[in-house]
Amino acid sequence: MDYYISKATNYTFDEAVNKISSELKEVGFGILTEIDMKATLKKKLDVDRRPYKILGACNPQFANKALSMEEKIGILLPCNVLVFENEKGKTEVAIMDPAVAMSVVENHKLESLASMVKEKLELALSNI
């Protein structure tokens, strides 16, 4: 079972970061964090990597509901969204599958919420 949903794009790396951020906003998610792994690994390890960013996306209403159902669910929040240049030189966007992530918690109350979150994330991804 895949733990993510993804889509290769024809966008440049920066265009893809902007486009998925905008599409996530359209479905109620904001970007809380942005980690530039390429820059971080270059600085810390002097390693050269292809462009790779991790965006921490959060929908406050969904996050609040999840916290009400499972106090330690913050371990799995926010939803990670990757924008990276793959081995074929294409810019790809991958988003964690919240249904898979929440399944490790074994709290059945989270299943329908995870499905709703996944639906919104899939919509944003399909629009890029």
**Inter-residue contact 93 to 125 (CB < 8 Å):** yes
Residue with tokens 């993510």: 4
Domain 4-126, CATH among 3.20.20.70, 1.10.630.10, 3.30.310.70, 3.90.1010.10: 3.30.310.70
Sheet with 4-9, strands from edge to edge, namely: 4-9, 91-96, 79-85, 52-58, 30-36
pLDDT at 11: 98
Report the candidate in 21, 23, 19, 40 with the shortest Cα–Cα distance to residue 31. Answer: 21
> How many angstroms from the chain centroid is the CA of residue 46?
26
pLDDT score, position 6: 97
For the stretch 34-80, pLDDT in tens is 999 999 999 999 999 999 999 999 999 999 999 999 999 999 999 99
pTM of this prediction? 0.94
Q: Which residue has tokens 């994330």?
A: 121
Long-range contacts of 40-44 (CB under 8 A, 24+ apart): none
